């Protein structure tokens, strides 16, 4: 079988998978370069959230999720992706390179995870309140560990405490004019291939604290699950390499969740506030928080818009 980087069709398959990754405010902040047997993953500086993501952490987590999808797509061609992270400090937008070499066929798990790439959605709708079973949480934790990160599921009491903290952070962010303008820029109406149109933002929550972000929705408020189930994704460090690792771990967790029919959305307001204020986390044995995830069982939702694969490619193949 030909290398997935050897043909236009093979490259398109990789780009299509990459573009289906989740990203902060659906900014899709990645670009790719392809030459011979090498693919470069690059951060797109024009899609960086300058106010809420001054360090570029959220952007690199997003790009890490796209990288995991590329790795899974490479495996479908019976090739092995060889990833080098941050190979050139002189090129800050170059996040990773992927080389490929022939290998055996993908495992059944790799095939299933790849199939889940097109099915996974971010679900901001109410969940039914059923708890994720402990054996499934074990699988989700193993998925994060496979990528060098840690998933910390919270019990009901700790989830409630964190949700209060999320609400406080949301209130603080709402006072920042630049932050409000940045969110508005990615939630505008009209036909586009990125951002968050109304049909993916979900309803407003009738209760308080809300287990969703405030995204300028004007629709009627509805009840959400009484006890949202939260989990925190952490990494040992808080460097750009850790952020990229967190993104790959996040996507493996989300795809594994998808295979079990579990929905997920994100409550990263405290992390945004931390980054905006240029604060660092105190040392904690469970690592540095990179994502706050709400898990549960919800109805099917539409996918957010996606950019055409050709738009993700720098130069020509």
31-80 pLDDT per residue, tens: 999 988 899 999 999 999 999 999 999 999 999 999 999 999 999 999 99
Q: What would the mean pLDDT of 292-304 be, rounded to a whole number?
A: 97
Q: Does the pLDDT of residue 118 top 90, yes or no?
A: yes
Q: Is the pLDDT of residue 283 over 60?
A: no
8-120: CATH superfamily: NADH Oxidase (3.40.109.10)
CATH fold, domain 134-296, is: NADH Oxidase (3.40.109)
pTM value is 0.96
Res. 152: pLDDT tops 50? yes
pLDDT of residue 279: 80
CB 213 within 8 A of CB 267: yes
pLDDT value of position 35: 87
128: pLDDT strictly greater than 70: yes
pLDDT at position 30 over 70? yes
For the segment 190-218, the average pLDDT, to the nearest whole number, is 87
- Which residues of the chain are in CATH 3.40.109.10 domains? 8-120, 134-296
Task: Check residue 317 and give its pLDDT.
Answer: 36
Q: How confident is the model at residue 217 (pLDDT cuts 50, 70, 90)?
A: low
pLDDT score recorded for residue 316: 39
Residue-wise pLDDT for 158-190, tens only, equals: 999 999 999 999 999 999 999 999 999 999 777
- Over the stretch 253-281, which tens digit does the pLDDT of each residue have? 999 999 999 999 999 999 999 999 988 76
């Amino acid at each position: 079988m030909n290398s997935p980087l050897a043909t236009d069709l093979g490259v398109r398959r990789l780009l299509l998978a990459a573009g289906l990754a989740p990203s902060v405010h659906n900014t899709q902040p990645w670009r790719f370069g392809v030459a011979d047997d090498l693919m470069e993953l690059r951060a797109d500086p024009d899609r960086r959230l300058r106010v809420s993501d001054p360090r570029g952490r959220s952007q690199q987590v997003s790009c890490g999720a796209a990288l995991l999808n590329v790795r899974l797509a490479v495996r479908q061609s019976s090739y092995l992706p060889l990833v080098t992270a941050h190979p050139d400090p002189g090129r800050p937008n170059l996040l990773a390179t992927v080389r490929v070499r022939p290998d055996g066929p993908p495992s059944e798990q790799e095939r299933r995870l790849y199939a889940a790439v097109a099915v996974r959605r971010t679900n901001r709708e109410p969940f039914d309140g059923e708890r994720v079973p402990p054996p499934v949480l074990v699988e989700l934790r193993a998925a994060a560990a496979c990528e060098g990160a840690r998933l910390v599921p919270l019990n009901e009491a700790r989830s409630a405490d964190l949700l209060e903290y999320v609400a406080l952070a949301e209130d603080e962010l709402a006072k920042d004019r630049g932050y409000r303008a940045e969110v508005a820029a990615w939630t505008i109406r009209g036909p586009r291939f990125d951002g968050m149109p109304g049909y993916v933002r979900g309803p407003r929550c009738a209760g308080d604290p809300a287990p969703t972000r405030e995204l300028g929705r004007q629709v009627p408020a509805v009840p959400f699950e009484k006890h949202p189930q939260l989990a925190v994704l952490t990494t040992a460090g808080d460097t750009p390499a850790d952020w990229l690792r967190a993104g790959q771990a996040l996507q493996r967790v989300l795809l594994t969740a998808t295979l079990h029919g579990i929905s997920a959305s994100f409550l990263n307001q405290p992390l945004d506030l931390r980054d905006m204020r240029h604060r660092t986390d105190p040392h904690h044995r469970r690592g540095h928080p990179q994502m706050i995830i709400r898990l549960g069982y919800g109805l099917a939702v539409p996918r957010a818009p996606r950019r055409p694969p050709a738009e993700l490619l720098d130069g020509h193949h």
